[in-house]
Amino acid sequence: MAVSGLIMLLYLVVHMLANLKIFFGAADFNGYAHWLRTVGEPFLHHEWFLWSARLVLLAAVTAHAVSAYQLSRLDRAARPQRYVHRRRRASYATRTMRWGGVILGLFVVWHVLDLTTLTVNERAAPGRPYENVVATFSTWYGNTVYLAAMLALGLHVRHGFWSAAQTLGAGRARRDRVLKATANVLAAVLTLGFVSVPVGVMTGLVG
Amino acid sequence: MRLTLNIWRQPDAASPGGMHTYELDGVSPEMSFLEMLDTLNEELTRRGEEPVAFDHDCREGICGACGMVINGQAHGPERTTACQLHMRHFSDGETIDVEPWRAAAFPVVKDLVVDRGAFDRVVGAGGYITVPTGSAPDAHATPVPKPAAETAFEHAECIGCGACVAACPNGSAMLFTSAKVNHLAALPQGAPERESRVLRMVEQMDEEGFGGCTLTGECATACPKGIPLFSISSMNREYLRAVRKGGEATD
């Protein structure tokens, strides 16, 4: 869980920063998208870098989902009988890890169909990512799905980063506040960074 | 004080149980929670009913024998054991729900009594040090640095009551096991078995059917001895260290 989660988290930071290029105009954003396909040439073949990254991410998502499934099954079996007296336990971010994770998984499928394969993006055309992004965020459902998913992402990262640190043995009494603060900052920066794109389109800043 | 008690009654492990309601009058705020149950049991005995079975021993908060989930919280609303929880923390006329620890690894024996033998087997798997028998060694024979002694003692405070497992939504025993592992890993006396200990104890913990840790922090909140949540991370560190050193769960 921890290692695959951190791989995806690292990717998300890069992904979010790259997304911000949209505020510098179509040429900048589309140029970057084109460059991603040529990274490593001529040593690597065209798009090899991109596909390597995709494979690593696919492996990380799969490992994360499989371990989450196994952990959940183990945990449910370990507490077969619930307490009669129910009490709200742990923070919202902690309690929503499982279903929040499922929501994020579904969002990733939607996101790929929307902006990579362009299957569900009606006014999209290949090779024009800037225009495609604008097309997505010009629809109410595109915005709703995205904004909801980014809030779920923030919550997931908030508990996930700190937990990953504990799993990997990085938790110490004196470091706890730093780890918690890092988790909160990561969650906030990622959510705000990602959300800024649809907000930019909605406010006409990007278009 | 007058109380309404909803208590889990179960005649034995095989029979189904359920919550039973009892009205109890004449409870003084100075009574401990167990003394309140004693009062109820006297009343039940007078009426010719079966008294409520619960575990208890020292009643000083140091043995770890008592333990019940009171209003959904392990050992009740105060950060102490049920025997040291006083009735002044409840109000007159209150309804109190009392349930046994719930975990697959802690099967109910009767009423509020659960079998915590799983903890003994986890300790048996590696929660000890090997020393030659004979006369006790001199106290200063093995110097222990002050910080190591502090760390060891912080974790040695665990009384194995099982509140961490009861509070954990996953029925995980990570806090208990980490307290035992960290206690001995901090001391020079624990060094020879440092790697095999953590591997064996974690292996046994999994075998007992305890759940996995999702860092909800409920265990550390419920712990009457204040074993900190980062103990789990320290045990993970010990585990990874043992794996890196090529250790196996055998000697």
Using a CB–CB cut-off of 8 Å, the residues of A that contact B are: 71, 74-87, 89-90, 94-95, 97, 159, 162-163, 165-173, 176
Q: Which two tokens stand for residue B113?
A: 């009594």
| Cα B76 to Cα B78: distance, rounded to the nearest angstrom | 6
B82, B66 contact by CB (below 8 A): yes
Question: Which of B73, B99, B104 has its CB closest to that of A84?
Answer: B99
* Helix or strand run (H / E) with residue A200: helix A176-202
Q: Read off the pLDDT of each residue in B102-129 and give the average, rounded to a whole number.
A: 97
Give per-residue pLDDT as tens, A40-64: 999 999 999 999 999 999 999 999 9
Residue A128: half-sphere exposure toward Cβ, Cα within 13 Å: 10
Instruction: Label residue B246 by pLDDT band (50, 70, 90).
Output: confident
Q: With 0-12 CB in 10 A as exposed, 13-18 as middle and 19+ as buried, what is B97? A: buried
Residue A123 has what pLDDT?
87
Is A87's CB within 8 Å of B72's CB?
Answer: yes
State what percent of residues in chain A have pLDDT above 70: 100
Is B234's CB within 8 Å of A171's CB?
Answer: yes
Domains of chain B: 3-109 (3.10.20.30), 116-244 (1.10.1060.10)
Instruction: Flag whether pLDDT at B73 surpasses 80.
Output: yes
Instruction: Flag whether pLDDT at B121 surpasses 90.
Output: yes
Instruction: Flag whether pLDDT at A85 surpasses 90.
Output: yes
Instruction: Label residue A91 by pLDDT band (50, 70, 90).
Output: confident
Q: How far is A11 from chain B (nearest CA, A)?
A: 23
Q: Read off the pLDDT of each residue in B143-147 and give the average, rounded to a whole number.
A: 94
Give per-residue pLDDT as tens, B24-62: 999 999 999 999 999 999 999 999 999 999 999 999 999
Q: Which two tokens stand for residue A142?
A: 């595109």
Instruction: Label residue B133 by pLDDT band (50, 70, 90).
Output: confident
Give per-residue pLDDT as tens, A168-195: 999 998 899 999 999 999 999 999 999 9
* Residues of chain B with C-beta less than 8 angstroms from the C-beta of A170: 233, 237
Residue A173 has what pLDDT?
87
Residue B132 has what pLDDT?
81
| Cα A115 to Cα A126: distance, rounded to the nearest angstrom | 9
Is B230's CB within 8 Å of A81's CB?
Answer: no
Instruction: Flag whether pLDDT at B110 surpasses 70.
Output: yes
Give per-residue pLDDT as tens, A4-24: 999 999 999 999 999 999 999
Is A84's CB within 8 Å of B172's CB?
Answer: no
Question: Which of A77, A86, A170 has its CB closest to that of B233?
Answer: A170
Residue B249 has what pLDDT?
57
B189, B141 contact by CB (below 8 A): no
Instruction: Flag whether pLDDT at B247 surpasses 80.
Output: no
B93-102, B196-205, B210-219, B242-251: least confident range: B242-251
Is A77's CB within 8 Å of B211's CB?
Answer: yes
Mean pLDDT of chain B: 95
According to DSSP, the β-strands at B73-74 and B69-70 are antiparallel
Instruction: Label residue B248 by pLDDT band (50, 70, 90).
Output: low
Residue A207 has what pLDDT?
81
Nearest CA in chain B to A88: B72
* Residues of chain B with C-beta less than 8 angstroms from the C-beta of A71: 212, 214
Mean pLDDT of chain A: 95
| Cα B200 to Cα A189: distance, rounded to the nearest angstrom | 41
* Residues of chain B with C-beta less than 8 angstroms from the C-beta of A75: 169-172, 211-212, 214
Instruction: Label residue B250 by pLDDT band (50, 70, 90).
Output: low
Residue B139 has what pLDDT?
83
* Residues of chain A with C-beta less than 8 angstroms from the C-beta of B19: 84
Q: Which residues are CB-neighbours of B83 under 8 A, at least 6 positions away? A: B32, B33, B34, B56, B58, B59, B60, B61, B66
Number of A to B CB contacts under 8 A, please give it. Answer: 107
* Residues of chain A with C-beta less than 8 angstroms from the C-beta of B230: 166, 171-173, 176
| Cα B214 to Cα B226: distance, rounded to the nearest angstrom | 19
Using a CB–CB cut-off of 8 Å, the residues of B that contact A are: 6, 8, 19, 69, 71-73, 97, 99, 102-105, 168-172, 209-218, 228-230, 232-234, 236-241
